[in-house]
Chain A
Amino acid sequence: MDCKQASSLMHDYLDEDLTHGQAVELKSHLKDCSACNERFKELEQTEMVLFAAIKPRSITASDELVDRIMSQIPNQRKQQAWIGWIRKHPALTAAAMFLFVMLFSAISLWESDDQLVVKTADLDQVIINGNTVTVPSGSTIAGNLTVENGKAEIYGDVQGNLTVIDGSYYQASTAHIAGEIKSIDQALDWIWYRITDMFTEVAYK
């Protein structure tokens, strides 16, 4: 065995990684070679000194470190959970965003018109006074009558439907309404009306 081999075995010995046969070989080399013997002693001492000296004595982390760490945790967590959810459900997030935007625009649309709107083919047959729309007795409306944000008073004839949005209607005993009477005053009903209205319009055109 040469000194280089012996040196490698010395380290293996310190790593507790030496077979019995190798240990015997190394020992016989150390007996004959004083340089290696000296080196072995030094390595052994280095090993012992390292294990003993590197150990922490009185120096420790400051006490408020735990508090500092724990105070940073919850914020981190909330944000993580929120972002994590979005990352995991891209389709749901997109759908939610879409609904949110739709609802928002619908509400703003619904709230924006508080003006009186009268829709009918025979505008000359009605009397508008303030926000009251009157169909006097004796006059006839050939088609539908729609009143938004106002009061409808019917004394005469309506041959189509009467629709009142965000308002009220009064039907006199002399009145005759051939079609349906619809009174809408809730956002959801209003949206439904818009949608069905759009479809019937599309269907008629």
Chain B
Amino acid sequence: MVVDHFEARLVKLARKGDQGAFAELVDLYKDKIFHLAYRMLSNRHEAEDIVQETFLRVYKSFHRYDDKQKFSTWIYRIATNLCIDRLRKRKPSYYLDAEMNDQEGMDGYTLIPGDERTPESEYLLSETQEMIHQAIEGLPAKYKSVIILRYLQDLSLQEIGDVLDMPVTTVKTRVHRGREFLRKKLENKVF
């Protein structure tokens, strides 16, 4: 409640052009947006691009933000749409590569020598986690966004509906199908 109030104040100030308040909002949300984008795209570099683009959009279209809506819902909507666009624009071959790649997070950027970015597989000690991440990566985009918002961002079904601008019944169906898909993928490996 206190956090919500604080956030609402920041949003109000930032909308009036207060740069300090905007910087605080960036600080509050940059990691959440980054993780969302990283899970959606499985690429660090692209995820950072999405974070940057999301905040620029927020700044540019602040006049369109309706303050009856939660700020988080609004910013997640912008970020998710940017991710979905990005996935659509990807070449199909890249898509296949991404699915078959056994080292998560590996791509052209991470292979550049001297780059300080590290593929996530180095952080992931457990095979189980790696398997789960790969399973999520293999989800079709429309299930992926729902699953990520549900499990990573801890959003309720209603909130996911608000973010993706779709009825709760659709969200439910997608959560069920996504869950079923993941269960089948993990059934003989993890359990």
Contacts and interface: CB of A to CB of B under 8 A. Distances in A.
B112 to A, nearest CB: 15
Interface of B is mostly: helix
A46 B26 contact: no
Nearest to B171: A15
Interface string B148-191: 10011000010000000000000010011001101100110011
Contact of A42 (B30, B132, B183): B183
Contact of A76 (B56, B120, B152, B175): B56
Contacts of B31: 56, 60-61
Interface string A55-69: 111111110011011
Interface of A: 8, 11, 14-15, 17, 39, 41-43, 45-47, 49-51, 53-62, 65-66, 68-70, 72-74, 76-77, 80
Given A15-B175, A74-B19, A76-B59, A58 B128 contact: no
Contact of B55 (A49, A54, A69, A80): A69
8 contacts: A11-B176, A43-B180, A50-B179, A56-B31, A59-B120, A66-B27, A72-B56, A74-B19
A53 B123 contact: no
B187 A42 contact: yes
Interface of B: 17, 19, 22-23, 26-27, 30-31, 34-35, 38-39, 44, 47-48, 51-52, 55-56, 59-60, 117, 120, 123-124, 128-129, 132-133, 136, 147-148, 151-152, 157, 172, 175-176, 179-180, 182-183, 186-187, 190-191
A11 B48 contact: no
A122 B70 CA distance: 84
Nearest to B34: A61
A72 B191 CA distance: 48
B17 A11 contact: no
Contact of B132 (A50, A58, A77): A50
A46 B48 CA distance: 29
A65 B129 contact: no
The winner among A39, A43, A49 for most chain B CB atoms within 10 A is A49
A60 B19 contact: no
The winner among B148, B151, B172 for most chain A CB atoms within 10 A is B151
A51 B132 CA distance: 11
Given A15-B157, A45-B191, A69-B55, A53 B129 contact: yes
Contact of B52 (A42, A54, A55, A65): A65
Contacts of A57: 123-124
A176 to B, nearest CB: 69
B22 A15 contact: no
Given A42-B187, A59-B120, A62-B48, A54 B22 contact: no
